[in-house]
Amino acid sequence: MYRRRKIRVNRFSPSSRKRPNAYRSTRFRSLRDFNIKNIKEFVFSKEGLRKIGIGLAIFGGFMIALFGWYAKDLPTPNKINSRFQAQSTQIFDRNGKLLYEVHGDKNRILVSINDLPDHVKQSAIAIEDKDFYKHSGFDVKGILRATFVNLVSKNRAQGGSTITQQFIKNALLSSEKSSARKIKEIILAIEIEQMYSKDDILQMYLNEIPYGSNAYGIQVAAKTYFDKDAKDLSLAEAATLAALPQAPTYYSPYGQHKDELLARKDTVLDQMAKQGYIKKEEADAAKEQKLAFSGKAYGDITAPHFVMYVKEKLVEKYGQQMAEEGGLKVYTTLDIDKQKIAEEAVAKYGTKNATAGASNSALVATDPKTGQILAMVGSRDFFNLDIDGNVNVAVMDRQPGSSFKPFAYATLFKDAAWGPGSTLYDLKTDFGGGYVPSNYDGKDHGVVSVRTSLQNSFNIPAVKTLYIAGLDETLKTAHSMGITTLNNRPAYGLSLVLGAGEVKLLDMVNSYGTFANKGVTNDTSWFTKIEDGDGKTLEETKTGKGKQVLDPQVAYLISNILSDDASRAMVFGRGGPLTVSGKTVAAKTGTTNDYNDAWTVGYTPSLAAGVWVGNNDGKPMNKVGGSMAAAPIWNYFMKNALTTYPNEQFQRPSGIKTVTIDAITGRKPSAGTKETRTDIFPSWYQLGGSTNVTEVKINKLDGKLATDKCPADIVETKVVNPVNAEIPPTDSAFARWQAPVAAWAVANGFLTGSGDVPTETTTMCDNIAKPTVSITAPTEGDNVEGTFKVRAKVTSTQEIESVNISLGSVLKAAVKKGDVYEAEITPTIIGLQKLKATAEDKLGQTGESAVVNINITSLTAMILKFLFFNV
């Protein structure tokens, strides 16, 4: 016991032996001293209580001083009406034409809280501030929770503000995100709570808060979104409006996140039920109510989908209040003339497509050299809510069908073994896992070039292309060119090349613009300059800062293929809607398997455009594809938009070379090559070794090598050609790819390699001669009456397969009886006739007798019998 006590004392300085209580102030000298026992002893000691008291006093004084510092410049709560005066934000096209004016808070109609149904008030409280009637203006737990979430989460920021604070932020303060503003907000919240009742504060909040679409306050919001007064809102409608203030632009039912709005509406209803305002059954019933949004949200607006797109971007940049009330002047990239052409194109073919089961269309046009958006039509009719016309399909995720294929072929061309003229085998192939794709027309097309495969949109060669190019490398190519989706790598397989992933039309057009711009990509741009309310330039875009993501040769090869009208003639014919008279255009269509989406994307060096056709809900069309539904719209736009452009050619970069290859094997031609193909290739292309084509002659009867003695009738000439699958034999998929290739080769007179050539030589043709035949009776000049029998002598080294007798037009087979062949002939004409016998052996060789002239004197007289002997 003594020794243990001694060890404890020695933990402290020697002086502690003289002052036993001194250790209380020095006990926390190392981490091991921080334990529950020591902490308790310190807190409840005189020294601990003294220090804690001093600390609290200092903190309290600091907070009072801090609050006093911020409070000195705050507006007084009783001057709520003397506040920030909103300025309208104006959105212009590239030439200064006003597209839309975003008004500030002037669109507001005040209502009394007594005129509002309970569920309108309760829905706001349930989702925004469930303790509204309990706190004194701010919620400490809410602030701490929001601070923690904002620190650890990448999701939408958590506000942690009470209804009182939200009202103050919108009525008295700016929406600046800073700790200073938050402190001011809390100070004013406390003062407001002392001056006004809770119902008064709730009324001010409901009349002040922005709901988006220039609707401020619950009354204008009800009129804007549901065309009714706030007092008439249903439970579901009230919950929907309560869902908006957190992010009015993001959750706008006229924007891209309507589904998110409806999900948040359901969250509001769940919270109302959880907090006891309504029953669960009422919440469930309200969730099922179909909401009928009004189309009266916007007045005089040009290019509405583009304007809403710009507005959402402004909110992302500057926040809701600045975007709507900051007096911004936004000069966009939109070309109003091209926008009108785009709207005309979509409207012109909208009715026709509707009869084919396609209710909607979208079109985007950009400048490939800058990435600037020149036109954007997000649907047939922005104001037609029956087809969700307010939804901007141009920035929604849809499956692109075959319009994705150029990304795979561009990736393939980076490989030194491939170019537009390279050979692919369009044959039904098992790619593993039961995946056996088929072509759009249901046919296999045998040997095709890469050029023909892409231009005719053959699926099987495209899947092979993705396999060879690599899925990861193809995704890398697509992302580098401007595709922002397709980020769930484990979800994609070889069907990606046929459009199994989802992309945005805007991204597709901008990415195709990379092909047009010699492999240089530009970020999508929607503004040229943004000014604040005082005319000060906040931001200005500069063009010409693109990034080289594709070799110019690869970009040119794709453009050269997609602008080659002759190469697509096999499936699409010539001179169709993918061509524009007098202009060089490159274009590609796309159709999803179930006809849910139809696409056409194309470009010149200075203008890129893309069209999507389909139904917003994903309902299939009536078997119409991109060439029928989307291409005419694209053609109308390009034809009219290009009238002010010269005919621009795709500039051929240095290094592109012309190469001739063996069309069947894709390798270097040899003396025995039957068919060649000449096309362009990148400078790094390396032609494979000689094909070494040879011919062999085979006896068709026994399958052995034929000799010169074999009759031509039984000899078959086969070409020995190394017709092998596009991947090396070491590839695990080679056997599955090779089987259909080998079958095709054999069926078309090719042997796929030396292993298919017979090694034995036939002996069947040794010492053979054609059969010799002579008629022994009747003899030359005999008179014959009626039906008669004939015989002849046949000599042959081979077995006789058949003997036939002909008398004029009468042909009769002879029957062998022992060594005798007999044929009974009935003449049909009286007079001189020519009698002849023909024998054929098993080698297919034939021999004929000399003609015997006989005289038929009667058709019904005696029967002459002649025997044929085989000697």
Write a three-state SS string for 761-808: ECCCCCCCCCCEEEEEECCCCCEEECCEEEEEEEECCCCEEEEEEEEC
Residue 191: the pLDDT is 75
**How far apart, in whole angstroms, are the C-alpha atoms of residue 633 and residue 361?**
9
Please give the backbone phi and psi of residue 170, each rounded to the nearest 5 degrees, phi first.
Answer: -85, -30
**How far apart, in whole angstroms, are the C-alpha atoms of residue 518 and residue 555?**
5
Which residues lie closer than 8 Å to 664 by C-beta, 6 or more apart? 423, 447, 673, 674, 675, 691, 721, 723, 750
| CA-based radius of gyration for the chain | 44
Give, in words, the CATH class of 772-869. mainly beta
Name the amino acid, one letter, at 524. Answer: T
Residues in the chain: 871
Q: Low-confidence residues of the chain, pLDDT below 50?
A: 1-26, 69-72, 74, 81-82, 84, 105, 148-152, 154-159, 862-871
Residue 143: the pLDDT is 55
Residue 5: the pLDDT is 40
Residue 29: the pLDDT is 57
For the chain, domain boundaries: 2-54, 104-294, 373-644, 693-766, 772-869
**How far apart, in whole angstroms, are the C-alpha atoms of residue 338 and residue 641?**
6
> pTM for this one?
0.68
Quote the crossing angle between the two packed helices 258-274 and 235-243, to the nearest 10°: 110
Give, in words, the CATH class of 104-294. mainly alpha
Are 346 and 338 spatial neighbours (Cβ–Cβ below 8 Å)?
no
Closest CA to 800 of 848, 849, 843: 843
Which residues lie closer than 8 Å to 257 by C-beta, 6 or more apart? 250, 251
Residue 412: the pLDDT is 98
- The CATH fold of domain 373-644: Beta-lactamase (3.40.710)
Strand partners, 813: 804
**How far apart, in whole angstroms, are the C-alpha atoms of residue 548 and residue 835?**
86
Write a three-state SS string for 686-746: CCCCECCCEEEEEECCCCCECCCCCCHHHEEEEEECCCCCCCCCCCCCHHHHHHHHHHHHH
**How far apart, in whole angstroms, are the C-alpha atoms of residue 585 and residue 601?**
11
Residue 22: the pLDDT is 43
- 3-state DSSP call for residue 583? strand
Residue 178: the pLDDT is 52
User: Which H/E stretch holds residue 90?
Assistant: strand 89-92
User: Which H/E stretch holds residue 361?
Assistant: strand 360-366
- 3-state DSSP call for residue 307? helix
